[in-house]
Every structure is written in structure tokens, then in C-alpha cells.
Amino acid sequence: MADARSERRAARPQPAPAPAERHHRSNFIAESWGELKKVEWPGQAQVIQGTVVVLIACFVVGTFLYVNDFVWKHVVSKVFLGQ
């Protein structure tokens, strides 16, 4: 019984937004567009430099985690498990 009621509620068409709400949305979009115009977007050189920094950082952290895992695997197997 409750399922039929919830299906009827879901099938009802939603009322159109009030004019004030519609104005609020368009105002938000206009203000957001204005803020995006103020953003100082990075140039190609900055994007490449940032990408290289991130890739190097990922490599360093990945290597650290790999070595750390390798060492602790042997420590656990030798010391704690006695294998």
C-alpha cells in the first residue's frame, strides 16, 4: 500500500519554479560567469610544470610505499610469523 502511494507521489509532475526562484537561478549563473572572468587561468607552461611536479610526486610516494611494503612484509613474516 505504501509503495503505491510513493509511486503516485513520484509520478506527479513537479510545479514550475516560481518567478523569484527562476530569477535567483539566472542571477547565480550571471554572478558565477562574472567570477569566472576574474580567474587568472594558468598558461601552458604552468600546466606542464604542475603536471610534471604531480607525476614526480606520485612516483616518489609510490616508490616509498612499495619499499615500505616490501620491508614490512619481510619483517612480519620473519619476526611475527617465524617463517
Query: What sections of the chain are H helices per DSSP?
Result: 2-11, 19-38, 44-75
Q: pLDDT tens-digit profile of 49-76? A: 999 999 999 999 999 999 999 999 999 9
What's the confidence (pLDDT) of residue 47? 97
- Rounded distance, CA 83 to CA 36, Å? 61
Q: pLDDT tens-digit profile of 11-40? A: 666 666 655 556 667 788 899 999 999 999
Global pTM reads 0.53
CB 66 within 8 Å of CB 58: no
Residue 1 has pLDDT above 80, yes or no: no
What's the confidence (pLDDT) of residue 34? 92
Residue ranges of domains in the chain: 42-83
Query: 42: which residues sit within 8 A by CB, 6+ positions away?
Result: 50
CB 82 within 8 Å of CB 76: no
